[in-house]
Amino acid sequence: MRQEEIGVVSRYSLGIDIGGTFTDIVVYDRETGRQFNRKVLTTHGDPSIGVMTGIDTLLKEDGLKPEEMGRVVHATTLFTNSLIERKGAVTGLITTEGFRDTLEIGRERKYELYDIAIEKPAPLIPRNLRLEVGERIKHDGSVKTPLDEQRLDKVADELVKNGATSIAIVFLHSYKNPSHERSAAARVAKRHPKVAISASCDVAPEIREFERASTTAANAFIKPLAHVYLANIAGQLKGRQVRAPFQLMLSNGGLTNVEEAKRSPVQLLESGPAAGALAAAFFGTEDGGGNVLAFDMGGTTAKLSVVDNGQPLITYAFEAARQKRFIEGSGFPIRISSIELIEIGAGGGSIAHIDEIGLLKVGPQSAGSEPGPASYGRGGTNATVTDADFFLGYLNPDFFAGGTMKIDLKAAERAMAPLMKQTGLSLTEVAWGIYDVVNENMASAARVHIAERGKDPRRYAILATGGAGPVHAYYVAKKLGLRKVICPKAAGVASALGLLMAPARIDRVATVAVRIDQVKWTDLEAAYRKLEDNAKAVIAETGLDPKKAKVTRLADIRYVGQAFEVVVELPDGPYTAASKAALNEAFEKAYIEKFTRTPPDVPAEFINIRVSVKAEIAGSATEVTLAAGGKGKALKGKRPVYFPEAKGFVEAAVYDRYAMKPGDSFQGPAVVEERESTLIVGPGASFVVAPSGNLVVTVPQEGAA
């Protein structure tokens, strides 16, 4: 049965998003457009425990039938965290003779030029587990030295003897001719069937040895974990009679099937943040004109991404596990397609501390969910952003997470007491300092992210999601000079809902390295067709009709003599000699948009070709009813809330989000509460319930009343 048939007969879709502090569960009812949400603390020892706790609670309390689930979509930070924390498999590398140290040498580029004590990130695979075999493929794909199979057997045996449970195979120029890698992978797998194998020709089949090796090493490092974890989740769902197709969110904002995710789990590194960006693109279309800064702040991190014309920006290279969060070159280069975003250690659980020169700092260390902020009453003793939010009156201790958690305000005050002593500040000043510093951290990251893309921040509204996003978005917007804040319904679980909006998407890449004026057009068309067929096969395995899929062709193009390329979206195929002018025109347009001018009389060349194949999924949550009218009085009451404009605590109106109706308008200062998140609106601001169901806040300019 194909997925679109399942979507028609099945009522519910289930989204699961595991974050560093909370796990979000959303069920979307396609018959009514309603959604059912739960937030539970993430269980880091075994994340499936938190997932199943949330699902069990939701099924029981909302009376949902597991057999009516049409599909299950999952995103997780588990694999990213395993890279950051170095908690993956013991991994070995088999590579071409003479290239054992590619991972160590890297680009020989210092990410901080004047730091004489700089430390590059240590490779995921130590030198004693990086071994060589005799073989050599030339740059044109011809074989210079055959694969030494006897040496290969000895090397594989040695790696397994030394504890390797996963092996990466990276041979020189395998992107041009993968025959040696495929032979080696098959031979090692037959000899050691319990060892996970990752060949670079399957993971990152493109030019540049270091980046290809780094991506393949990362894939191998997390592959055994992915196999065990995904099988565990799928098994537990079936045990609860949830027998719907199980799909995974990829970093590119698309969905795939479990087998593809197991084959190449490196594609899932940014799956959670990608879902948040998709949700922001959807919710920001009507009220933000399609141009929004997606701001997703959870318990551990904050993610920011630019959405232009209703679409998040896509990148085809990023870095994981950076030593320095804002500095390129300090992490592991990963060659996969991903929604372009910046992630910083600024969440509700971020820990405040005083540095060596007496300045208040917040993050990147986080209390997470175990033990969590001091106010959770689970043994945490460090002051966190959430503790400050409670003290300042932004969060309601009786309604936090819908009243499902008992909050200890005294513990929060005790956690902040050492900071008072160290700084000589009052408790209120410390709490506001924590709140303001973390806001500045996020605003600084946003400035960098927007400026690096040559964008004008005044074009954008900030769209807040995540449990902590709406609590902080108003003052982040003020720091950035933005005039509008948009807060969707159930913003705290928007990433989990974003999973249910995503299409299936498979991206494929191949290196061709040929000048456009020297292209053999039949060969180029055949190469594109091969990528499209491969991607469509995965779409079919995901349960969708590949004939209905939309194919987009792209290419990495540069001028001859340049070192790096521009990724260009190309006209549809098929390509012939008559396509040359259109392809050149597409490249020049993209190049001028990025660099303002082109060099004179220099031919262009293809380096990589790419395809992106998308298939929409029937019954997705893009029909979710956002504008359902509320019942009862919106005003719940008033409570003291700290606002710097008022130079202290003032009685702010507290509103019930569920009682608000489209067309309602309000004035700040105000607090808007719902189970999953809380929106803070400062004095002098106004906000309305838009026809879309979003809350749209107008931020006053500096000096305005």
pLDDT, tens digit, 9 for 90 and up, residues 7-38: 444 788 999 998 888 899 999 888 777 888 88
Same domain, 50 and 70: yes
At residue 7, the pLDDT reads 41
Q: For residue 25, how many other CB atoms are within 10 A of its CB? A: 27
| Encoded amino acid at 573, one letter | G
Indicate the number of domains in the chain.
5
**Residue 200 forms part of a structural domain:** yes
59 and 109 both lie in a single domain: no
CATH number, domain of 591, equals 3.30.1490
The per-residue pLDDT for 9 is 45
Domain that holds residue 24: 3-83+228-268
Which residue would you say has higher pLDDT here, 604 or 367?
A: 604
700 found inside a domain? no
Residue 5 clears pLDDT 50, i.e. is over it: no
Do residues 392 and 420 share a domain? Answer: yes
Residue 703 has pLDDT above 70, yes or no: no
411 located within any domain: yes
**322 domain-assigned:** no
Q: Do residues 412 and 375 touch, judged by C-beta distance below 8 A?
A: yes
Residue whose entry in the numeric block shows the structure tokens 């993971």: 203
Span 237-281, pLDDT tens digits: 999 998 888 999 999 999 999 999 999 999 999 888 888 899 899
Tell me if 479 sits within 8 A of 263, measured CB to CB. Answer: no
Residue environment code for 299-320, b if the CB has 16+ CB neighbours within 10 A, otherwise e? bbbbbbbbbeeeebbbebbbbb
% of the chain with per-residue pLDDT over 90:
65
User: Is 533's pLDDT higher than 90?
Assistant: yes
Average pLDDT, the chain: 90
pLDDT in tens, 438-475: 999 999 988 888 887 778 888 899 999 998 999 999 99
126-140, 287-301, 490-504, 592-606: range with highest mean pLDDT: 126-140
> What value does the mean pLDDT take over residues 149-161?
98
Residue 321 lies in a domain: no
Check residue 172 and give its pLDDT: 97
Instruction: List, as own/partner pairs, every contact residues 58-63 make where C-beta atoms lie below 8 angstroms and the sequence separation is at least 24, other chains included.
Output: 58/25, 58/27, 59/240, 62/27, 62/36
Residues 536 and 545: their CA atoms lie apart, in Å, by 9
If one compares 321 and 616, the residue with the highest pLDDT of the two is: 616
Task: Kindly report the CATH number assigned to the domain that includes residue 14.
Answer: 3.30.420.40
pTM for the whole thing? 0.88
Cβ contact 299:232 at 8 Å: no
Other C-beta atoms lying within 10 Å of the C-beta of residue 636 = 18
What is the C-alpha separation between 492 and 469, in angstroms, rounded?
Answer: 8
**With contact defined as beta carbons under 8 Å apart, do 670 and 653 qualify?**
yes
pLDDT at residue 128, as a whole number: 96
For residue 150, pLDDT over 70 is answered with: yes
In angstroms, the Cα distances linking 440 to 271, 346, 386, 482, 606 are: 26, 10, 16, 14, 42
Query: Are 70 and 113 in a shared domain?
Result: no
Does residue 90 share a domain with residue 70?
A: no
CB neighbour list of residue 652: distance below 8 Å, 6 or more residues apart: 393, 638, 639, 640, 641, 643, 668, 669, 670, 671
pLDDT digits (tens, 9 = 90+) for 288-335: 988 999 999 988 888 899 999 888 989 998 888 776 666 777 788 999
Task: Please give the average per-residue pLDDT across 2-10, as a whole number.
Answer: 45
Mean pLDDT of 131-139: 97
Task: Give dist(CA 473, CA 679) in Å, integer.
Answer: 8
Predicted confidence at residue 625, as pLDDT, reads 54
Question: Quick check: is 284 in a domain?
Answer: no
- DSSP code string of 335-375: -S-EE--EEES-STTEEEEE-TTS-EEEEEEE-TTTT--GG
Same domain, yes or no, for 76 and 169?
no
Domain co-membership, 46 together with 118: no
User: 537 to each of 185, 220, 266, 503, 540, how far by Cα in Å?
Assistant: 22, 23, 20, 16, 5
Residues 91 and 208 in one domain: yes
Could you tell me where the DSSP H helices lie in 175-303?
Answer: 179-191, 200-203, 209-239, 258-263, 271-287
542 neighbors 246 (Cβ within 8 angstroms):
no
Whether the CB-CB separation of 509 and 695 falls below 8 Å is answered with no
Q: What's the rounded Cα separation, in Å, for the pair 370 and 186? A: 42
Note whether residue 175 is domain-resident: yes
Q: What are the φ/ψ torsions at residue 247 (nearest 5 degrees)? A: -120, 155
Q: Which of 582, 615, 648 is the last residue of a domain?
A: 615
For the segment 627-644, what is each residue's pLDDT rounded down to a tens digit?
A: 455 677 999 999 999 999
Tell me whether residue 58 is in a domain: yes
- The reply to whether 93 and 211 lie within a common domain is yes
Residue 118's CB: how many other CB atoms inside 10 A? 13
Q: Quick one: CA dihedral 623, 629, 631, 635, positive or negative?
A: positive
CA–CA gap between residue 610 and residue 177 (Å, rounded) = 18
Last residue of a domain, one of 436, 453, 479: 436
Whole-angstrom distance, CA of residue 68 vs CA of residue 12: 6
74 and 92 co-located in one domain: no
pLDDT band at 620 (very low <50, low <70, confident <90, very high): low
**pLDDT at position 2:** 44
pLDDT attached to residue 449: 81
Residue 577 in this model has a pLDDT that exceeds 70: yes
Q: Are residues 263 and 155 in the same domain?
A: no
Asked whether residue 56 falls in the same domain as residue 144, the answer is no
Structure tokens at 552: 């987009």
Of 580, 615, 650, the one marking the end of a domain is 615
Residue 106 sits in a domain whose CATH number is: 3.40.50
Average pLDDT over every residue of 36-49: 87
Q: Residue 175 pLDDT more than 80?
A: yes
Q: What is the pLDDT of residue 243?
A: 86
Residue type (1 letter), 13:
S
CB 135 within 8 A of CB 180: yes
For the chain, the helix, strand and coil percentages under 3-state DSSP, each to the nearest 5: 35, 25, 35
